[in-house]
Structure formats: C-alpha cells, structure tokens
Amino acid sequence: MKSPARILFFVIFWALGIVCYKVFWAAILLLALIAVIFWKFRLVKIISIFILAFLLGFLRMYIAHDKGIDYSEAAQNKKITVEGFICEDLDRRDDFMFLYVQAEKAQVAGVAQAADFKFIIKTDLYADFEYGDYVKAQGFLVAAADYFQAKDIKYFMYYPKISASGSQKQNIFMKFIIFVRRSVLGAIENVFSEPVASFIAGLLIGSRKSIPDEIMQNFNKIGLTHVLAISGWNITLIISFAAAIFGFLGRRLKIIFSLVTICIFVLIVGGNPSVLRAGIMGAVSLIALAFGRQGIPLITLCVSGFLMTLVNPKILLFDVGFQFSFLSTLSLICLLPRFVEFFKCIPAAFGLRDIFLATMSSQIFILPIAVAAFGRISIVSPIANIFILPFIPFIMFFSFFAISLGAIFLPAGALLAVLPIMLSKFIFWISALMASFDFAYIDVFQIPTSARLLYFTFILYVLIKIEVFEA
C-alpha cells in the first residue's frame, strides 16, 4: 500500500471513529475495511495503526461532545434571561437580523448562574446593535438544528426583549477583520449594482446572503450552487495576487507572504468548511513547493480534512458544506482521471468534455448528501455546468480587478465591470431557463438509512479498488 493510500485510509478510519460516536452502523464499515485490508496485505502493523486512528477519532468526538446544561429543557417552557456579548459581525437579511451572542450569565427560574454557550438572536433588521455590545435578552431558548452544532451554536431566541448595557467586549483583531470584510463588500457595491453585486460577492468571498431567493432557487434546481462556494479558483487568484505584489522577494519569502495572504483571506471570508479546505490545500501545496516538492492532491486533501476535524470534529457529522467540499474533491481526485481515460475518444473541444466529466465525477460521492440536503436530484446539472462553468473564471478575474481598480478610480472600475456584468446576467438567464423545464429535477423526499449505508459502502469499495488493489 503506497503512502497516499495509507494516509487516505488513516483519515477514513479517523472519520469512522468520529461518526461511530453518533451513528453505530459506522462500526460495520470499520469491520469491513479491516477485513479487506488484512486479506490483501496481511500486515498487522498497518491494521493496528488504522484501529488506533479509529479510537483516536472516537475519543476526539467524545471530548467535543457537549455535556453541559440543556437550558431549553431547564427553563421548562418559561422565559429565560441571558447576558452576553455579540461575538460576530451582524448578519443582516432582507427583513430581519441575526445576532451571534456568547452567553456569560443565565437566569433560570429566578436563579442566576454563570453560562458558557453561543446562541443566535433573531431580531428586527434595524435594531441598534454592533459587534462587541454587551446585551441582555429575555425570551424562550429553542434548541438549534443539528447543522448549527458544527458552529457550536446551541440555541435560538426569536424576537426577545433585548437591551444593550452600554459596555463592550471586543477583540481588536476580530474588529479589524469585520472592518476589512465590510470594506470589501462596500467596494463591490460601489462597482456593481444588484443582483450582480451579491452574485459577485458570492463568487469572490462566499457571501451569498443577499442573493435573491429566485436566483438561488434556480441554482438549486439545476445543481449550480457549488459555484458560490469558495474553491481552489479563489485561492489560486489570491496566490497569484500575492505573488504579483511580492514578486521582488525571493521564492521562500514570496511563499511565506502568500501563506499570510491566504490566512487573511480565510479570516475575512469567515472560515466556513469549504474555505478552510481550499485554504489548507493551497497552503500545503505552497509549503511543499517551498521545500522543492510537488504537492500530491490526495495527500493535501487528507491533511486538510484531518486538521479540520481535529479542531472541530462536529463538522464531519453536522456540516453539509464540509461534507460536500471534501467528498466532491475526493471524487474528482479519484474518479476524474479514470473518466477522462474512458471517454478519451470524445473530442476535448474548448474543455467542454472535461467540464462535463468533472461535473459527473464530483456528483457521484455527494449524491446521497445532496438529496438529503436539498430534497431533489438535478437532471440538467451536467448540461447547465457546461453552459455556465467556462464563464466563472472570467467573471471572477475581471470582477477582482474591476473592484481593485474601482477603489482607486471608480469610473475605470465601472468600465472594466461591464464584461462580468454581462456574463453574470447571461448566467441568471440560462439558469432561469433551465430551471423552468419540467424535467430539470426530481423531488426526493426521504432516503432510508439503509440506502445511505449501502451507498457509502459503495464509495469505500471504489476507494479500496482504486487506491489499494489497482495501486
């Protein structure tokens, strides 16, 4: 078994340990993997390392599992008073606002006690609050959905009685990041008008909150929401920008400043799983380059997945974005070269064949997750990606420079923005057209657990066949 395969299966066993803490059937996949690998190699040492990875994953999830007080149950359907500070930037939507609050005190049934949990307050859009404000909220705590556990969000409080004490608790570094993020969004809005501005913000920094629902629904129906996730394109653009600015330095210094630039970009964007995965893979590749080595995509993906789940194992179970990002990239690395080889008789004109095959291969590993998350399977996704994906790099490239130029001289930035505006409107039109077809998608409302188990068993079979037996 070669090194990339050993690293891959170490991470798989680690992940199975995390999953097994919550979902017992993961143990079945563990036993199947052990049996197959032992039958192939008869190496007790390798099996022992993999079992250790499984146990470490299980232990990491045990440590991360919340064992504190459940305040939503302790309140017994009565209002609770919570005091804490707004720990993230304000999340403004169309007609309401989310406040992310780190609780420090809670008063349940008249008894005050120290508290340590994060919750989200849904309140009026124009409520007068700011990052760092110390607030006091009185209302009903409602347990948050599983998805929010990955972000350590435990509760929601809807339209409570809320007031600010006047004091603040701010992190200077976080305040700077919020300032830069707002400045970038402001620069985008100066050059582009809606809805193109929101679309460009989604492409460049992953901020899709202001994109109209109609456009997002169309993207969902034709399987195009992935273009709004931060990917290798964004990191490549950032690395190229840093390399151009620091081109006068030596190779290693240039790489160091590129790494710093990636870190700043990840912090500004917000550090969601797809951003972290792309950022870590880009950073690992740069570090390999600094030591005169070529990065191996499978190893960099495994390293990024391991580091992310080591810091926060809950993302593996509860964050659909991480599951999408990791499995789609793994699918591309393992399956795309074989698809290209199998369909090499098809002409590769304008890269359309590769786009089609990349779309098909990336969907294979994420199919059950996509169906569970969106409740539908997009039929026109491969065709839609052929029409739209070739334009995305051009939109990102020219938008990036239009915004940069607009910050210096607005008319010049607006002139350069004409091309990305035209291409963005074309994408809106083609997505609306394809989403209007009756056959564009199939609604799927429920996938049995047994079916998911069989599908992930199939994925493991493919990985074992490719990385163990064929290798």
Domain ranges of the chain: 3-64, 71-170, 179-470
Q: Which has more pLDDT, 430 or 446?
A: 430
In whole angstroms, give the CA distance from residue 159 to residue 80.
13
pLDDT score, position 293: 64
Q: Which has more pLDDT, 51 or 412?
A: 412
Work out the angle between the directed axes of helices 392-408 and 232-245 (0-180°, nearest 10): 40
Question: Which of 223-232, 285-294, 303-312 has the highest mean predicted lDDT (pLDDT)?
Answer: 303-312
Does 350 have pLDDT greater than 60?
no
Average pLDDT of the residues in 143-162: 84
Does 158 have pLDDT greater than 80?
yes
Average pLDDT of the residues in 119-135: 88
Is residue 143 within a helix (H) or strand (E), and if so which, with residue range?
A: strand 141-143
DSSP label at residue 145: P
pLDDT score, position 378: 81
Classify residue 203 as exposed, middle or buried by CB count within 10 Å of its CB (0-12, 13-18, 19+). Answer: buried
Q: Which has more pLDDT, 70 or 101?
A: 101
In whole angstroms, give the CA distance from residue 322 to residue 316.
7
Does 127 have pLDDT greater than 70?
yes
pLDDT score, position 38: 62
Confidence of residue 71 (pLDDT cuts 50, 70, 90): low
Average pLDDT of the residues in 211-235: 78
83-87, 387-391, 402-406: least confident range: 387-391
Does 70 have pLDDT greater than 90?
no
**Which contacts (CB < 8 Å, 24+ apart) does range 239-245 have?**
239/282, 239/286, 241/400
Question: Which of 48-52, 184-188, 461-465 has the highest mean predicted lDDT (pLDDT)?
Answer: 184-188
Residue partners of 300: CB distance under 8 A and separation at least 6 = 280, 281, 284, 285, 288
In whole angstroms, give the CA distance from residue 4 to residue 9.
9
Q: Which residue has the tokens 């369909």?
A: 343
Confidence of residue 418 (pLDDT cuts 50, 70, 90): very high
In whole angstroms, give the CA distance from residue 464 to residue 9.
9
DSSP collapsed to 3 states, 248-283: CCCHHHHHHHHHHHHHHHHHHHCCCHHHHHHHHHHH
- Which residues share a beta bridge with 81? 107, 138
Average pLDDT of the residues in 246-257: 75
- Which residues share a beta bridge with 91? 98
- Would you call 211 helix, strand, or coil by DSSP? coil
Q: Is omega for the bond preceding 195 within 30 degrees of 0, making it cis?
A: yes
Average pLDDT of the residues in 289-298: 68
Does 315 have pLDDT greater than 80?
yes
DSSP collapsed to 3 states, 401-424: HHHHHHHHCHHHHHHHCHHHHHHH
Instruction: Decide which of 3.30.1780.10, 3.30.70.360, 2.40.50.140, 3.40.50.300 is the CATH code for 71-170.
Output: 2.40.50.140
Q: Where are the alpha helices (DSSP H) in 312-378?
A: 314-318, 320-342, 352-374
pLDDT tens-place string over residues 30-61: 666 666 666 666 666 777 787 888 888 888 88
pLDDT score, position 154: 85
Q: How many C-beta neighbours within 10 Å does residue 89 have?
A: 18
Does 396 have pLDDT greater than 60?
yes
The whole-chain average pLDDT of the chain stands at 79
Q: Which has more pLDDT, 19 or 350?
A: 19
- CB-CB contact of 469 with 253 (8 Å): no
Handedness of CA 24, 28, 30, 31 (dihedral sign): positive
Does 27 have pLDDT greater than 70?
no
Torsion of CA 421, 417, 397, 261, to 10 degrees: -120
Average pLDDT of the residues in 417-432: 92
In whole angstroms, give the CA distance from residue 417 to residue 412.
9
pLDDT score, position 428: 92
pLDDT score, position 359: 72
Average pLDDT of the residues in 221-227: 78
pLDDT score, position 295: 58
